[in-house]
């Protein structure tokens, strides 16, 4: 988070107070990042709107630029500008789609999470981050190198957010239910599964200094447990990662991040491994 030098803020002219901009200012105040404001629209002229907000931000001491653009769809527009401007973070206000529409069409915000070659912060609430709870979701059951690196990135970003917001850090890891038929005896009992997961989390605890009380090892599907624990803790930000499950050629993420996006009552930061980011950048460059 501290390494971010430029933030892409997706602006909505029909919203008098931009929640995305509010979060961007909080982060930029700490990281000294440049703010690039984007309106995705090919029809209306929003120059006056962008100029007014930019002038106010400059008076407040922020480095800022702005543009209006359109490339086929909203998510393609955001990704194209993110790559052109070299932004290390995209911040967007998320509004849940109609369930029927979502069943028929893939929501544009889901596509943004899938294909954006960089971290995406979806802002969902007006609740202040300061003094709140930051929840990092890790899948320690997958211990390959790509997942381990992603887990470290998730914890690191969550730790950074907790630091800038003077908030508490908590970590959740979901584990499968016991199976008597499992070949590994560890997975035949709930107690031994939980013990294995806690052991796999020790490196995070040692590196980032969080206690057993801050670590939540729960049994069940991640897309159910993450919102449950986030709600129980009153989390203001949930940090979650995604790894392509069908190889880089598919670039299809596990759908946990998509499913929990609408069920979480917190802001959501979605991260990807470097290998997927590199591949997505290649795809964008080929357009």
Residue-wise pLDDT for 78-106, tens only, equals 999 999 999 999 999 998 766 555 545 56
235 touches 129 (CB < 8 A): no
Q: Answer yes or no: do 11 and 74 share one domain.
A: yes
In Å, what is the CA distance from 257 to each residue of 59, 160, 175, 227, 270?
Answer: 37, 20, 17, 11, 7
Looking at residue 69, which CATH number applies to its domain? Answer: 3.40.50.620
Q: Given 93, 111, 143, which residue is the final one in a domain?
A: 93
Looking at residue 217, which CATH number applies to its domain? Answer: 3.40.50.12370
Q: Answer yes or no: do 171 and 231 share one domain.
A: yes
* Displacement of CA 179 from its chain's centroid (Å): 32
> What is the sign, positive or negative, of the torsion defined by CA atoms of 223, 283, 44, 25?
positive
Q: What is the pTM of this model?
A: 0.86
pLDDT score of 57 = 95
pLDDT score of 229 = 94
Q: Answer yes or no: do 170 and 247 share one domain.
A: yes
The radius of gyration computed from the CA coordinates of the chain, to the nearest angstrom, equals 19
Q: Answer yes or no: do 152 and 278 share one domain.
A: yes
Q: Answer yes or no: do 142 and 47 share one domain.
A: no
9 touches 91 (CB < 8 A): yes
Residue-wise pLDDT for 108-129, tens only, equals 888 888 888 889 999 999 999 9
In Å, what is the CA distance from 102 to each residue of 40, 99, 105, 250, 257?
Answer: 21, 5, 5, 21, 15
> Is the pLDDT assigned to residue 270 strictly greater than 80?
yes
Helices (H), 39-144: 47-59, 74-85, 99-104, 108-115
Looking at the structure of the chain, the number of domains it has is: 2
Of 77, 104, 102, nearest to 92 by C-alpha is 77
pLDDT score of 43 = 87
Residue-wise pLDDT for 7-33, tens only, equals 999 999 987 678 999 999 999 998 899
């Amino acid at each position: 988070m501290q390494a971010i030098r430029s933030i892409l803020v997706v602006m909505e002219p029909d919203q008098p107070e931009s929640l995305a901009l509010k979060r961007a200012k909080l982060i930029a105040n700490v990281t000294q990042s440049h703010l690039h404001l984007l309106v995705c629209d090919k029809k209306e002229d929003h120059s006056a709107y962008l100029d007014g907000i930019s002038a106010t931000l400059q008076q407040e001491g922020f480095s800022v630029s702005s543009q209006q653009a359109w490339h086929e769809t909203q998510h393609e527009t955001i990704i194209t500008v993110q790559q052109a401007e070299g932004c290390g973070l995209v911040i967007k206000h998320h509004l849940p789609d109609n369930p029927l529409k979502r069943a028929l069409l893939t929501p544009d915000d889901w596509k943004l999470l899938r294909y954006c070659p960089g971290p995406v912060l979806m802002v969902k609430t007006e609740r202040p981050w300061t003094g709140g709870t930051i929840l990092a979701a890790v899948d320690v059951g997958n211990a390959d190198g790509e997942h381990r690196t992603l887990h470290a990135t998730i914890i690191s970003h969550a730790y950074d957010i907790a630091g800038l917001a003077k908030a508490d850090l908590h970590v959740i890891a979901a584990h499968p239910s016991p199976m008597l038929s499992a070949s590994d005896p560890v997975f035949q009992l709930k107690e031994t599964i939980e013990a294995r997961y806690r052991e796999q989390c020790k490196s995070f605890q040692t590196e980032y200094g969080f206690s057993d009380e801050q670590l939540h090892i729960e049994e069940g599907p991640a897309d159910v447990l993450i919102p449950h624990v986030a709600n129980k803790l009153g989390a203001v930000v949930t940090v979650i990662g995604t790894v392509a499950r069908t190889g880089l050629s598919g670039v299809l993420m596990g759908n946990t991040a998509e499913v929990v996006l609408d069920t979480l009552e917190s802001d959501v930061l979605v991260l990807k491994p470097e290998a997927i980011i590199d591949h997505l950048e290649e795809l964008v460059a080929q357009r």
